[in-house]
Amino acid sequence: MPSDSATQDGSVSVSWWKDGYLAGLLLVALGIGLAFMALGVYKPWHQRIAGVDPVGYYAYARSLLFDGDLQFANEYRALNAKATFTEGFLMNPDGARTATGHLPNLFSIGPGILWTPIIGIAHGVALMTGAESDGFSRPYHTAVFLANAFYGLAGLVCTYLLLRTWFLPAHSTLGAFAAWACSPALYYTYGQIAMAHACSFFCIALFLLLWARLREREALWPWALIGAALGLAALVRWQNAAFGIVPAIDLLWNRRIRGVAPLALCAGASILFFVPQMIAWKILYGSFFTIPQGEAFVDWGRPDVINTLFSMASGLITWTPLCAVAIAGLFVWRREYRPVWIALAAAFAVQLYVNSVVPDAGWSFGMRRMVNCTPLFAVGIAQLAALMPWRLRWNVAVVLALAFWNFLFVLQYCGFIDRFYVERAAREKAAGLNVPVQELVQMTQLPNGESFDLRQFASEHRFPRGKELTARQLTVDKLVVLRFLIERAASPSVNAPE
């Protein structure tokens, strides 16, 4: 961490729009997004809002903007038009109603609110191009995926500016890029599914940036602004409310402002910004506060930290090992910044606990629920880089290598080598049955009398999203991704494997 004189060497005084480091950081991040587009794994022009979580988030925005209500039957039906609406399906338009006569929505209203400005642009595009201007046509789907990319990149910018509060430009750039490119945040910025995590990353980065820059002001109004940012973050993902521990701890040490007033102002602003969710819950469930998933959704007394960090299905460190280094950096404190570091380390510990009581992340690139901690990872990495300035080049090399590894992992997760997986499984199956592969793929019944459906077999042997990975899939198969990537570069006309 730089000294005061080093900090004054531009950390706060340089205008962000003139910062060459920030411009370079953004160009690299945009270049990664263009690479994903070129490889066909990020296609905002063709991807659709569908499934469970994406439909739940988008239904709020679409219903309020186009219908003026929170009756979600038409959203659930239209967005999952090809789905079979069974009794257990969460987005069932014909499902059981709540006590207030509404269909339940287990998700937060905040992402829809943040997507709304870009949905508005999409509405204008729909009107100008003759597309259906009903909130369901192609421009609206594209808008949401582009909005997530925007908020993911905005989160990266805010993270860099947060680090510039304490670190030199080189360390800030390294920390911000590493935390974003070597963590699950990379996928959720350029995701195939319209989730809330990019918005959550942005909101927490903005909240921490405002707190870091305004905490020393000898006034009360900054704490209202900090609280408002915290409330917005909680509106996007409810677990973000636990980041309130940061200003709470800080105020215990703040020599300039102490007492009940700043804490009350911060808490009051947070609650005020969370009011839209409370109103939505009141309309949907009849109560201003609720757990829509039910009390059994979390088991507060049985945290599974090991699974959250090291699960083969979605473990934070198992999938993105640089996060282990970042976490260690959060606990390396300097005396002059000890209140800041204690607050940030405590915030991470609380988030780890909150996520460990609901360890099953389901269909997930890594531990997606920890994407909100990306700015904390950035602080840890920048801190360790600042303590080893003579090894900056080596640090950069390691980060670039791990970022490329994560890039390959995203391709793997997105199905870039699914054909390879299916063909490998078919060869193994055929060898076990002692039949040629060509015969196996034509069969509807195996020699042992077992029925065989090639389509179902292929579905079961793609990359196991939401399930346990094998050690081979987690490690050496990245070389297979690289091989396919090289082949694709050599023959651009060849489509990516499906």
Q: Which pLDDT tens digit goes with each residue over 251-290?
A: 887 666 667 889 999 999 999 999 999 999 999 999 999 9
At 497 the pLDDT is 46
At 169 the pLDDT is 95
- pLDDT tens figures, 394-407: 999 999 999 999 99
On the CB side of 344, CA atoms within 13 Å amount to 31
Mean pLDDT of the chain: 91
Which letter, b or e, does each residue of 187-223 get, where b requires 16 or more Cβ atoms within 10 Å of its Cβ? bbbbbbbbbbbbbbbbbbbbbbbbbbbebeeeeeebb
Of 152, 122, 20, give the one whose Cα is nearest residue 62.
122
Cβ atoms within 10 A of the Cβ of 498, count? 12
- pLDDT tens figures, 116-173: 999 999 999 999 999 999 999 999 999 999 999 999 999 999 999 999 999 999 999 9
Distance CA 124, CA 442 (A): 50
For residue 481, what are the contacts with CB-CB under 8 A and spacing of at least 6?
408, 409, 411, 412, 416, 417
Distance CA 449, CA 147 (A): 51
For every residue of 195-243, DSSP letters joined together read: -SHHHHHHHHHHHHHHHHHHTT-SSSHHHHHHHHHHHHHHHH-GGGGGG
pLDDT-above-90 percentage for the chain: 77
CB 464, CB 471: distance < 8 Å:
no
At 174 the pLDDT is 97
Grade residue 390 by pLDDT with cuts at 50, 70 and 90: confident
Q: Is the model's pLDDT at 5 over the cut of 70? A: no
The one-letter amino acid at 399: V
- pLDDT tens figures, 17-67: 678 899 999 999 999 999 999 999 999 999 999 999 999 999 999 999 999
Which pTM does this prediction carry? 0.94
At 2 the pLDDT is 41
The one-letter amino acid at 285: Y
Higher pLDDT, 363 or 197: 197
For residue 284, what are the contacts with CB-CB under 8 A and spacing of at least 6?
70, 98, 100, 102, 104, 105, 292
At 323 the pLDDT is 97
Distance CA 297, CA 79 (A): 25
Distance CA 354, CA 146 (A): 29
**Token output for 266:** 């911060």
Q: Tell me the average pLDDT across 177-192.
A: 97
Q: Is the model's pLDDT at 474 over the cut of 90? A: yes
**Token output for 235:** 């509106």
Distance of CA 212 to CAs 49, 247, 306, 317, 362, Å?
36, 10, 31, 27, 34
